[in-house]
Amino acid sequence: MNLIKNLCLIILFIIPSIFFISLNTSVAEDNNVLSFKSSNKITDSLYIEIARKPLEHRKGLIGRVSMQDNQGMLFIFEPARKISMWLKNTLIPLDLIFIDISGRVVQIEENTQPMSDNLISSIYPVRAILEINSGVSKKMGISLGDFVINSFFEYNN
């Protein structure tokens, strides 16, 4: 009798839990890829780490000695607002791409200085900042006014 009860508990609780965990994982994986769309092209995809919480924002890419050109870190800010950040203890030069709530690129700071405590500030309120290797924004042809294709942003066409 206990065996039947245990089997019923497994069926009622564990199997649905596994199902919901797998759903959340697939959503997160979709969010970990983004590309840019301009009027005439869509860029190759970037594989991103996502920093949503203040502790993740503070850690960022600190201490990393390298990153692949098809990788980056996306800092999400809720609500959208003007942001200032520095690259103190960041070892690699980066391009910073500032993205508004609709997913539009509103500012690009290229070839930022690693290990600097100089503030880099957004001109406009932003929903996110993407950090990628220095020079990658030029290589990919990312420009002001391009849109980010990723489910974090309102633009999804």
The total number of structural domains that make up the chain = 2
CA 81 to chain centre: 16
Mean pLDDT of 85-103: 96
Q: What is the pLDDT of residues 39-91, one digit of tens each?
A: 889 999 999 999 999 999 999 999 999 999 999 999 999 999 999 999 999 99
pLDDT at residue number 20: 40
Give the angle subtended at the CA of 138 by the CAs of 118 and 133, to the nearest 5°. Answer: 50
61 domain-assigned: yes
Does 55 lie in the same domain as 17? Answer: no
Give the number of other CB atoms < 10 A from CB of residue 149. Answer: 18
99 domain-assigned: yes
Is the pLDDT reported for residue 29 higher than 70?
no
Determine contact, residues 99/75, Cβ cutoff 8 Å: no
The chain-wide mean pLDDT, for the chain, equals 85
Domain span including residue 1? 1-31
Does 27 lie in the same domain as 41? Answer: no
pLDDT at residue number 155: 61
Q: How far apart, in whole angstroms, are the C-alpha atoms of residue 148 and residue 130?
A: 10
Is the pLDDT reported for residue 10 higher than 90?
no
